Structure 1
Amino acid sequence: MVARGAVAQTGARGAAAELYDQIGQFLTAQRLSPDPVNYVFAHNVLSQPGSPLAKAVASLTDGGIRLTVKDIEELGVETTAGSAAETMMEAKAEAARMVARTQMQLEGFVDLASDLQVDTADFGRDLAASAEAIRTTLDTEEVVRLTAALAERVQAAEARLEATTREAAHLRAELEEARDNARRDPLTDLPNRRAFEETFAERMALGQGLWLAVCDIDHFKSVNDRFGHAVGDRVLKAIGTAVAEQCDGQFVARYGGEEFIVLFSNLNADQVYEIMNRAREHVADKRYKLRETDAPLGAVTLSAGITEATCGDTARMVFQRADRLLYLAKSDGRNCVRIG
């Protein structure tokens, strides 16, 4: 006769094995690599079938649609790995250090301004006393002494004022640098998602006609899988530079992962499509090589979806429409542009 505890233990092992098999099937169906991040994501979905996460995944995959890396990121699971993540962490640490330095400089500036205010008040009192002394005395030597003392105080005040001005200019530059770093992607040196959302809101408020293109590097995951994240990072930088050059005069940003966005202002549909398609062709025509061995990396291509911003749209709403068109471009075989 089998003990009750043994039966329970056997049942637990059976449930665990079943969940393990389900996770494997899920990853295979979604064409996700069996790395720890994706495994944890699948485990969270399948182990809690009634959770909001599981329901969101069911909605996204309805009709046989596969999840993308971006879908997983938006559902709250971080998938960035390798040197790109390290670069981002370093950038955040540097931003924190800059904020601390700026705060210290600001406190020093406040102290300096306070000292200058005290010196100015003292100078005013001394000036009044000296003027009275000059008025009531005819002693030439005393007048010379008082005049020299006043000149010395004036020079000292001017020196303090000059130092304060330099400090203020330095502080202004530090603050501007910190603000710029907060709006810039550290890997590609392009504006980031935050900068895009701010720019979109500003231009919408000005009533500019806007079109948004969402671009995605085709099969980028295979680049990381075959050559590693260091090579993947270099590809991201090269593609970001190429898109920015081909879309010169427009706002180009890295949205996240292998996605870039281009915000076009005051252009019509034909002009926007022509620019974006020219950028796609330029990327497809380039032949990338491995820096270490000079071996060919293989073709790297872009797909893009373009949509127009309408009155009342938020950046998120426009992005979602362009992203759906990007998905259609991927479905059409990639390396193409869809506009709508």
Structure 2
Amino acid sequence: MIDYNANILLIYTGGTIGMVENNVTGALEVFDFGHLTKHLPELQRFRFHIETIVFEPIIDSSDVSPVHWKRLVKLIEENYDSHDGFVILHGTDTMAYSASALSFMIENLQKPIVFTGAQLPIGKLRTDAKENLITAMEIAADKDSIGNPVVPEVCIFFQNYLLRGNRSTKVNADNFNAFASYNYPILGKSGIHIRYDQSKILKPDYEKRVRFHYLMDSEIVIFKLFPGINQKTVEAILNAEGVKAVVLETYGSGNAPRYEWFIEALQDAVKRGLIIVNITQCEMGCVEMQRYETGRELLRAGVVSGYDATVEATIAKLMYLLGHKYSREEIIVRMRVPLAGEMTRFDEREI
């Protein structure tokens, strides 16, 4: 009888990592995850007990929606007590969105949920899939000296780097190093050993229970500014039927045009109850609307700062808060503070 040292649940949703090439037809087919240890004998050296669940049907990550996030949360809830960690194989295109969503939907998480994937199918000779998968498994199983998980949060492991899920974004469609975390340090790096930065990893409250949430509302639009944007376009976006929140991608540290019609359009939208969250178009940096007069105009119009959050995390957080039917005032308060490590704590000068 094998003495397993960790129980890991592997969930394959779809994506490049789980495909193998048929030697006869050349077509890509789904890898048999039911025989994972047979195809990856390296896993047997860890003495993990691995259970696998494959989405039926598997989904391209471009088709991912809150319906699939709820399904993932349900699978994790049903298997939470019997497993030490979870590895989710996911297409790379929307992985950061899914990781962000689960970070809010699973409150006070006390076990690792590691998203990973690949740029080449697992059946390809030069694939990055095996290294990503094997290391993600090890991270999901790692415990500290007193038996607690080393990484009790939702994260992404890709090409040697462990990143907080809701701080990550896909930055490269061609290279193996596909993800980055611009505004938060990496949680760990794999080499000969996996080296974790314990000071950067979230610490749950082990005195409280984990809570699973399923309410999400996707009535949100992303509004990216560009030079020459006209009044008709702005008003069409801000008056779109059913929209409850707008993620406004501004320039630099949160700046936008000071056209009178533009500011008035924002003010009117806010008065109607629309929530407008300001995030920067820059890869690195933070929204500081008090820094320049253009930003202060947005503050006076009622726009809320998104600070240094990614667009993926901002979208997922708004979906979560809107889904729980918080009032506009309550949502604004919660958008200003980190719920799952998704942003740097707000600057009190903006309150």
TM-score, normalised to structure 1, is 0.27
TM-score, normalised to structure 2, is 0.26
- Higher strand share goes to which structure? 2
